[in-house]
């Protein structure tokens, strides 16, 4: 039987659908309300609260922690100040991505990391191989619950409980006290909206949950499930392991593996020449950049609304739109003389209620990745494959100003 | 006159149709000016902060019919269009009974089955049939209708095409369209349902804004019209725009400006300037003049044809048709600021029941009685109310924890037989309040502020003749080929360069944009034709 998170006693009665799914062995609600779209709009119009406790959590500390993370992480950990967080990836020797995650630097030599898959033994093995003595890697997965408070009113809610979050800049973090509980609050999230993620010791999880829900009452705070979150993250152009890419660790062949650059994260290596970290995969990544050997790139796809309408209306049916999010692979073709000229594929597809058009995250060969490039996306229309026009776009699709705003007004 | 008063196109009236029209014209490269009489744009679709922190949707309050192609063409999502879906529809009875319908078809089945298991099944058949009817009529909504009075080959061909299209529809769809046009909502509903709560809930769509009861012919078509809207591709679903319907017209204003259009408020147009049946500009009440070879009236047909220009200059047949065109407004609004949510006995502390339409009109007889008052020239003693507590969906409508409740009131006839609206305003508010109190005991103690909008206020403030919310009844003889008059249903007027784009043109009233878009299409086509 799956385990339950520390917030479960509160989540259970709130789940109107009574449907649960298994996330890393924990019961989690895909959605709380019957209407997914309504749940989604809590993220964009009011404020949402999401339990992400099933993530694996690690505490990495000690004076050698920097050296360990310099070695493991493809992105330079030295660019993560104390009191800030960093979105990062770790790769294998061939430059293929093992995992992505957010790392919090809570002290000069103390880090907290979230990961989708276990990575304790791997990190320890690297530390051992490097003969690092002053580093401890601890699995604290079941010591903390994490809540994501996301949406335009996230600050209206948290500021009722602590003043310490107010001046946080995007990706900053702070220790804070909520209802006499020591928590860590980071100005981060997976929605592309204004938001905070809060690490709460499990024993006080319910106290903090109750406080947030009470503070959010007047702002229509709503618990959300993972599907609404995923809908928002597509708009935010954020990739999901297991959906948009797979970990190199359990792949059979390189065709299943992807490099950070292929995933669209070349910005992580913008200052590569300025650091001399000997990180795992560095040589491969440098060669990929130098020789331009990326096999494809991850891009956004905006499906042409008129084309999407037409292929359905012509078939005599309404285009599906409402609550439409899926993770099935869809083929993409070149618009060329050759019919069905295969080019790549889409991994996540959403009819964005907010943006009023279907969008997708796609992998395309490099010559098709300029914004505005036209491609065909294959969709089923009455069970038959039909192509619709789609335009390549950069990610993210949606970037509200509040996403990166500092609520205290500081710059 | 300085050059700065010269434009390519002038749109009179900054309601949503005027704005849509101007946005299309500006987008096509025309130097476009919108002239709005009031200090704000939006017309019947405005949001006003009457007391600090409380946003009132003074008139129009929900959105569904806005044509999806306009949203794309004008890139309204980029300008902040955000329609929040309604979660539930709540139909309380007066005896503790109620219907609460939401987003899940199976949950709805069981909810309706509490009243009738057959009704729970019927609603699926009826909904599917109505969806197919809406699908069939969608192209008619989104295109310029043919001109039935014209002998031009294109128009004759268009009429023939229309007949062929209708004849080609599947028989059950065609039959259902006929029923909507020729039957009352109640007649159709009797075929499908036995539960009074169910029938009344659906029938209420058939009376909104119209001088018909659920048993009057005409209510079928009004019902169908309200089903033609979409939310994320689902027919008949409604939402609240972020910040109320005024939030939506602000988005439209941004779109107009993004395409280079100019909007001037406090600009009351007195007359269209024209000579030898050719329009050249407009004159404001202030005496200021603006010039353009294209002038578009976004006002209702009475103003377009008898006030902005002289009826003497127009064909008698048109003036006669406009004279007969029915306005006869029957709706009012009473909006409340509330200190807390109302309480429904048996469902105490349930915020979710208010997250959508709360429909006060528990039976067909109740609605008919309300209509009987209207027929007698009185406002209903027990009105039908469509209530929306928008703050349960959009927290930015009120200070935290407080609420706003918009109540659309039927019936409130423009012509009162024994009194006048300035006398009756507060009495109407009291009647509405007392009605709500019957369903939600203790309601009165929650009220922080009350705004009353009579049909006369609608006419005075927005300019909608006789307060008709759709700029003219949505009756079959005033729709499509006949809106606003046979032969004049293609946005042109007898004055060259003078066009109409208000809700009194096809496809009609509601926050729908179709009139504005289709008029722009006609104007741009005519301009191209002139050039070519
Ligand atoms: C009380 C009420 C509730 C409604 N509820 C809904 C609803 O919930 N959902 C829905 O879809 N529809 C609703 N409707 C209908 C819908 O709001 C209207 O059909 C629609 O907004 C009309 O838009 P319009 O642009 O055609 O005209 P209007 O909105 O009437 O715009 C005309 C504009 O012209 C201006 N004007 C008038 N005269 C002059 C002049 N001489 N010079 C310059 N400017 C002038 C006016 O000030 C106004 O801004 C409601 C209407 C009312 C009145």
Look up the CATH number of the domain holding residue A27: 3.30.1360.120
Is position B168 within any domain?
Answer: yes
In sequence order, what DSSP letters do the residues of B168-203 get, joined into one string? TS-HHHHHHHHHHHHS-HHHHHHHH---HHHHHHHH
Q: Are residues B131 and B201 in the same domain?
A: yes
Q: What pLDDT, on the 0 to 100 scale, is given for residue A409?
A: 72
The verdict on residue B400 lying in a domain is no
Domain boundary among B186, B201, B232: B232
A175 shares a domain with A45? yes
The pLDDT assigned to B3 comes to 63
Is residue A123 a part of any domain in this protein? no
- Look at residues B232, B261, B290 and tell me which one is the last residue of a structural domain: B232
What does the pLDDT look like over A234-259, one tens digit per residue? 999 999 999 999 999 999 999 999 99
Cα separation, B147 vs B136, whole angstroms: 20
Using CB atoms, pick whichever of B102, B233, B401 lies closest to residue A322.
B233
Total of domains in chain B: 2
Ligand 1 neighbourhood includes B61 CB (under 6 angstroms): yes
Min Cα distance A340 → chain B (Å) is 28
A314 inside 8 A of chain B by CB: no
Q: Which of B107, B235, B395 sits opposite A218 (nearest CB)?
A: B395
Residue B107: inside a domain, yes or no? Answer: no
Q: Which of A18, A49, A56 is nearest to A206 (CA)?
A: A49
Distance from CA of A357 to the nearest CA of B (A): 9
Positions of chain B with pLDDT under 50: 1
User: Which one of B12, B60, B65, B226 would you pick to mutate in the ligand 1 pocket, going by the greatest count of ligand atoms within 8 A of its CB?
Assistant: B60
Section A303-324 average pLDDT: 97
Reported as a single tens digit per residue, the pLDDT across A88-110 is 999 999 999 999 999 999 999 99
* CATH (domain of A332): 2.40.30.110
Q: Are residues B225 and B155 in the same domain?
A: yes
Q: Residue A146 domain-assigned?
A: yes
Count of domains in chain A?
2
Question: Measured between alpha carbons, how far is B41 from B13 in angstroms, rounded to an integer?
Answer: 8
- Quick one: pLDDT at residue B88? 97
List of chain A residues whose C-beta atoms are within 8 Å of the C-beta of residue B393: 220
Rounded to whole angstroms, how far apart are CA atoms B308 and A379? Answer: 52
Paired with A376 in beta bridges are A333, A389
Domain annotation covers residue B459: no
Q: Please tell me whether the peptide bond between B411 and the residue prior to it is cis, using omega within 30 degrees of 0.
A: yes
Given an 8 Å threshold on Cβ–Cβ distance, is B231 in contact with A322?
A: yes
Residue pLDDT, tens place only, A56-98: 999 999 999 999 999 999 999 999 999 999 999 999 999 999 9
Does any domain span residue A156?
A: yes
Task: Find the mean pLDDT for residues A366-388.
Answer: 98
> Within an 8 Å CB–CB cutoff, is residue A355 touching chain B?
yes
Domain assignment of residue A383, yes or no = yes
DSSP character at residue B308 = S
pLDDT confidence of residue B466: 98
Query: In this structure, are B483 and B525 located in the same domain?
Result: yes
**Length of chain B measured in residues:** 532
**Residue A157 pLDDT exceeds 60:** yes
Residue A343 domain-assigned (yes or no): yes
Q: Which residues pair with A357 in a beta bridge?
A: A352
> What is the per-residue pLDDT for A411?
45
Q: Is residue B415 part of a domain?
A: no
Model pTM? 0.97
* Residue A408 in this model has a pLDDT that exceeds 90: no
Chain A nearest-CA distance from B399, in A, is 8
Q: Which of A30, A157, A354, A356 to mutate to test the interface with B (most CBs of B within 10 A)?
A: A356
Q: Average the pLDDT over A118-130 and give the result.
A: 98
User: Residue A19 falls within a domain, yes or no?
Assistant: yes
DSSP assignment of B260-300 equals T-EEESS--EEEEEEETTEEEEEEETTS-EEE-SEEEE-S-
- The answer on A189 and A40 residing in a single domain is yes
Q: Same structural domain for residues A161 and A15? A: yes
Q: Do B33 and B16 form a contact (C-beta atoms < 8 A)?
A: no
pLDDT at residue B531, rounded to an integer: 84
- Are A301 and A388 within one domain? yes
Does A30 lie in the same domain as A147?
yes
pLDDT value, residue A330: 98
- Residue from B240, B400, B402, B513 to probe the interface with A (highest A Cβ count within 10 Å): B400
- Tell whether B319 is covered by a domain: yes
Q: In terms of domains, do A360 and A223 share one?
A: no
What pLDDT does residue B1 have? 45
Q: Do B133 and B225 sit in the same domain of this protein?
A: yes
A43 and A152 part of one domain: yes
Looking at the fold, whether A216 and A333 belong to one and the same domain comes out as no
- The answer to whether residues B127 and B74 belong to one domain is no
Domain-embedded: residue B454: no
Taking only Cα atoms into account, the Rg of chain B, rounded to an integer number of angstroms, comes to 23
Q: Which residue, of B232, B266, B285, is where some domain finishes?
A: B232
A311 and A215, same structural domain?
no
| 3-state DSSP of chain A | CCECCCCHHHHHHHCCCCCCEEECCEEECCCCCCCHHHHHHHHHHCCEEEECCCCEEEEEECCCHHHHHHHHECCCHHHCCCCEEEEEEEECCCCEEEEEEEEEEEECCEEEEEECCCCHHHHHHHHHHCCCCCCEEEECCCCEEEEEEECCCHHHHHCCCCCCCCCCCCCEEEEEEECCEEEEEECCCCCCCCEEEEEEEHHHHHHHHHHHHHHHHHHCCEECCHHHHHHHHHHCCCCCECCCECCHHHCCCHHHCCECCCCCCHHHHCCHHHCCCCCCCHHHHHHHHHHCCCCCEEEEEEECHHHHHHHHHCCCCCCCCCCCEECCCEEEEECCCCCCEEEEEEEEEEEECCCCEEEEEEEECHHHCCCCCEEEEEEEECCEEEEEEEEEECCCCCCCHHHHCCCCCCC
- Please say which residue of A235, A252, A283 terminates a domain: A235
| Model pLDDT for residues B340-394, shown as the tens digit of each residue | 999 999 999 999 999 999 999 999 999 999 999 999 999 999 999 999 999 999 9
Per-residue pLDDT at A410 = 54
Of B72, B231, B242, the CB nearest to A45: B242
Pair (B125, B228) in one structural domain: yes
- Select from A186, A213, A235 the last residue of a domain: A235
Q: Average pLDDT for residues A114-141, to the nearest whole number? A: 98
- Which chain B residues are within 8 Å of A41, Cβ to Cβ? 82, 84-85
Let me know if residue B431 belongs to a domain: no
Query: In the prediction, which pLDDT does B4 show?
Result: 84
Q: Please tell me whether residues A326 and A225 are part of one structural domain.
A: no
Both B151 and B208 in one domain: the answer is yes
Do residues B226 and B124 share a domain? yes
User: Looking at A235, A263, A283, which one is the last position of a domain?
Assistant: A235
Rounded (to 5) percent helix, strand, coil in chain B: 40, 20, 40
- pLDDT exceeds 80 at position A26: yes
Do A305 and A231 share a structural domain? no
A229 with A303, same domain: the answer is no
> What residues make up the domain containing B209?
119-232
Kindly state whether residue A221 falls inside one of the protein's structural domains: yes
**Structural domain for A355, as ranges:** 297-393
Chain B residues within 8 A of A321 when measuring between CB atoms: 232-234
Q: Do A38 and B233 touch (CB under 8 A)?
A: no
Residue A133 lies in a domain: no
Q: Quick check: bond before B218 cis, omega within 30? A: no
Q: Is A322 on the interface with B (CB under 8 A)?
A: yes
């Amino acid at each position: 039987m799956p385990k339950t998170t520390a917030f479960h006693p509160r989540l259970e009665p709130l789940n109107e659908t009574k449907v649960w799914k298994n996330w890393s062995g924990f019961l989690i609600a895909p959605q709380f309300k019957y209407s997914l779209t309504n749940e989604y709009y809590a993220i964009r119009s009011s404020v949402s609260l999401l339990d992400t406790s099933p993530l694996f959590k690690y505490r990495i500390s000690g004076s050698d922690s920097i050296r360990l993370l310099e070695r493991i992480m493809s992105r330079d950990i030295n660019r993560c100040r104390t009191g800030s967080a960093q979105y990062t990836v770790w790769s294998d020797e061939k430059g293929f991505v093992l995992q992505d995650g957010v790392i919090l630097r809570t002290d000069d030599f103390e880090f907290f990391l979230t990961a989708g898959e276990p990575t304790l033994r791997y990190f320890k093995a690297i530390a051992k191989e490097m003969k690092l003595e002053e580093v401890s890697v601890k699995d604290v997965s079941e010591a903390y619950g994490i809540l994501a408070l996301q949406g335009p009113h996230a600050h209206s809610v948290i500021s009722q409980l602590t003043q310490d979050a107010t001046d946080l800049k995007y990706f900053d973090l702070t220790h804070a006290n909520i209802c006499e509980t020591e928590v860590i609050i980071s100005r981060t999230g997976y929605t592309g909206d204004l938001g905070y993620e809060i690490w709460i010791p499990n024993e006080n999880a319910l106290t903090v949950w109750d406080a947030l829900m009470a503070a959010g009452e007047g702002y229509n705070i709503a618990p959300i499930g993972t599907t609404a979150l995923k809908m928002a993250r597509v708009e935010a152009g954020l990739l999901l392991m297991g959906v948009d890419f797979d970990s190199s660790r359990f792949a059979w062949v390189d065709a299943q593996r992807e490099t950070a650059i292929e995933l669209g994260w070349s910005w992580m290596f913008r200052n590569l020449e300025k650091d001399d970290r000997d990180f795992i995969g560095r040589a491969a990544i440098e060669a990929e950049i130098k020789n331009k050997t990326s096999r494809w790139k991850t891009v956004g796809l905006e499906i042409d609304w008129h084309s999407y309408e037409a292929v359905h209306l012509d078939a005599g049916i309404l285009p599906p739109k409402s609550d439409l999010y899926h993770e099935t692979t869809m083929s993409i073709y070149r618009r060329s003389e050759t019919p069905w000229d295969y080019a790549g594929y889409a991994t996540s597809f959403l009819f964005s209620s907010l943006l009023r058009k279907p969008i997708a995250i796609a992998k395309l060969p490099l010559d098709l990745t300029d914004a505005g490039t036209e491609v065909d996306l294959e969709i089923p229309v009455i069970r038959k494959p039909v192509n619709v026009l789609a335009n390549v776009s950069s990610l993210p699709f949606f970037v509200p100003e509040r996403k990166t705003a500092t609520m205290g007004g500081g710059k | 006159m300085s050059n700065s008063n010269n434009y390519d196109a002038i749109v009179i009236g900054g309601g949503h149709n005027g704005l849509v029209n101007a946005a299309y014209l500006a987008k096509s490269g025309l130097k476009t000016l919108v002239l709005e009489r009031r200090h704000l744009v939006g017309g019947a679709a405005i949001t006003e902060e009457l007391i600090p922190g409380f946003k009132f949707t003074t008139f129009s309050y929900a959105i569904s019919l806005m044509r999806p192609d306009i949203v794309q063409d004008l890139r309204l999502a980029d300008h902040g269009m955000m329609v929040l879906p309604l979660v539930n529809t709540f139909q309380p009875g007066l005896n503790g009974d109620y219907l609460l319908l939401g987003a899940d078809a199976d949950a709805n089945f069981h909810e309706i089955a509490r009243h009738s298991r057959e009704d729970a099944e019927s609603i699926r058949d009826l909904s599917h049939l109505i969806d197919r009817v809406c699908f069939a009529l969608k192209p008619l909504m989104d295109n310029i209708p043919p001109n039935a009075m014209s002998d031009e080959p294109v128009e004759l061909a268009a009429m023939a095409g229309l007949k062929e299209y209708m004849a080609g529809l599947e028989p059950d769809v065609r039959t259902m369209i006929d029923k909507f046009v020729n039957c009352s909502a109640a007649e159709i509903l009797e075929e499908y349902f036995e539960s009074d709560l169910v029938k009344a809930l659906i029938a209420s769509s058939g009376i909104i804004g119209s001088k018909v009861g659920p048993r009057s012919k005409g209510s079928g078509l009004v019902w169908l019209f309200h089903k033609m809207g979409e939310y994320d591709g689902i027919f008949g679903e409604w939402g609240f725009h972020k910040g109320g319907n005024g939030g939506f017209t602000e988005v439209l204003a941004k779109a107009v400006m993004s395409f280079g259009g100019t909007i001037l408020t406090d600009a009351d147009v007195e007359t269209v300037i024209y000579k030898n049946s050719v329009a050249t500009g407009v004159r404001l009440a202030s005496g200021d003049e603006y010039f353009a070879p294209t002038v578009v009236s976004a006002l209702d047909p009475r103003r377009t044809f008898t006030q902005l220009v002289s009826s003497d200059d127009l064909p008698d047949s048109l003036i006669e048709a406009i004279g007969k065109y029915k306005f006869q407004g029957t709706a009012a609004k009473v909006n409340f600021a509330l200190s807390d949510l109302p309480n429904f006995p048996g469902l105490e502390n349930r915020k979710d029941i208010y997250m959508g339409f709360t429909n006060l009109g528990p039976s067909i007889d109740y609605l008919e009685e309300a209509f009987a008052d209207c027929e007698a020239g009185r406002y209903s003693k027990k009105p039908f109310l469509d209530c929306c507590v928008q703050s349960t969906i959009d927290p930015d409508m009120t200070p935290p924890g407080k609420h706003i409740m918009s109540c659309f009131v039927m019936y409130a006839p423009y012509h009162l037989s024994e009194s006048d609206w300035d006398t009756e305003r507060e009495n109407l508010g009291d009647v509405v309040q007392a009605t709500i109190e019957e369903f939600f005991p203790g309601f009165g103690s929650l009220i922080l502020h009350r705004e009353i909008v009579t049909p006369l206020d609608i006419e005075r403030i927005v300019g909608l003749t006789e307060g008709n919310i759709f700029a003219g009844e949505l009756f079959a003889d005033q729709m499509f080929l006949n809106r606003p008059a046979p032969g004049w249903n293609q946005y042109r007027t007898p004055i060259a360069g003078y066009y109409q784009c208000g809700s009194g043109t096809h496809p009609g009233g509601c926050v729908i944009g179709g009139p504005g878009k289709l008029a722009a299409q006609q104007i741009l086509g005519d301009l191209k034709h002139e050039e070519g």
